[in-house]
Amino acid sequence: MIKYSLDDIKKKVNELAEIINTTTDLLPTYGHSKDFAYPHIEIDNFGRLHYVIIERGEELERRTTDKLDDLLYWIFTSVTFSMASDFELKNRIEDKDCRRIMFEKQEELLGQLNENWRLKENTEHQSILKRHPFDDLAGLRATYCGQLRKQGLSETEIDKLAYAKYPKN
């Protein structure tokens, strides 16, 4: 197993970040946590690499590997998800499921870094879509539900009216 230092990892992350022109606020910290669900990287005494997320002092997630490629993939799936979310928000199409734009953009960004990461994320996206298919009218339906709630209608009536006006695909 190859041993890496936090500086080695930071240098590689910064090189990749430049390729997709990301901001440093999306990158993890190294050796310490900023908290607030902001990821950080640790290396243990055995040389294992840890991707850790802590919020309000509580560890929410810890992924461990001895492969730098795995760690970099975890880092950049998070980074590209944030970038893709921002992109979708600026390019929103009201009658399209926001994930259509987000998933495509995230895969595009990952593909600029590593084609295997793009393929891996595409497989993850397809798995999500099998469980939760695209619903292009969800945003319009949600807005309409809010309008109906303000009119004091019951949730049953709101659902009935909203799905009648904006049916699920």
- Mind listing the pLDDT tens digit of every residue in the chain (169 residues)? 789 999 999 999 999 999 999 999 999 999 999 989 999 999 999 999 999 999 999 999 999 999 999 999 999 999 999 999 999 999 999 999 999 999 999 999 999 999 999 999 999 999 999 999 999 999 999 999 999 999 999 999 999 999 999 998 7
Number of domains, the chain = 2
Q: Cα angle vertex 75, ends 71, 76, to 5°?
A: 115
How many Å apart are CA 81 and CA 20, to the nearest integer?
A: 12
Instruction: Determine the structural domain holding residue 116 and report its residue range.
Output: 6-131
pLDDT of residue 23: 95
Residues 156 and 93 in one domain: no
SS3 54: strand
Residues linked to residue 65 through DSSP beta bridges, in sequence order: 49
For 15, 80, 87, 162, 167, the CA distances from 74, given in Å and listed in that order, are: 16, 10, 20, 38, 36
User: Is residue 144 located within the same domain as residue 111?
Assistant: no
Rounded to a whole number, what is the largest CA-CA distance in the chain?
A: 63
C-alpha gyration radius of the chain: 20
Residue 132: which of 160, 157, 111, 103 has the closest Cα? 103
Same domain? 31 vs 57: yes
Q: How many other CB atoms sit within 10 Å of the CB of residue 101?
A: 19
- Token pair belonging to 66: 């001895």
Integer angstrom CA distances of residue 60 from 31, 50, 54, 57, 151: 17, 13, 5, 9, 40
Q: Are residues 156 and 119 in the same domain?
A: no
pLDDT at residue 169, as a whole number: 74
**Has residue 154 been placed in a domain?**
yes
Do 108 and 34 fall into the same domain? Answer: yes
Residue 91 lies in a domain: yes
Please give the model's pTM, rounded to 2 decimal places. 0.91
Same domain for 78 and 40 = yes
Q: Within a domain: residue 146?
A: yes
Whether residue 1 lies inside any domain: the answer is no
Task: Identify the pLDDT of residue 91.
Answer: 97
Same domain for 20 and 88?
yes
Question: What's residue 99's pLDDT?
Answer: 98
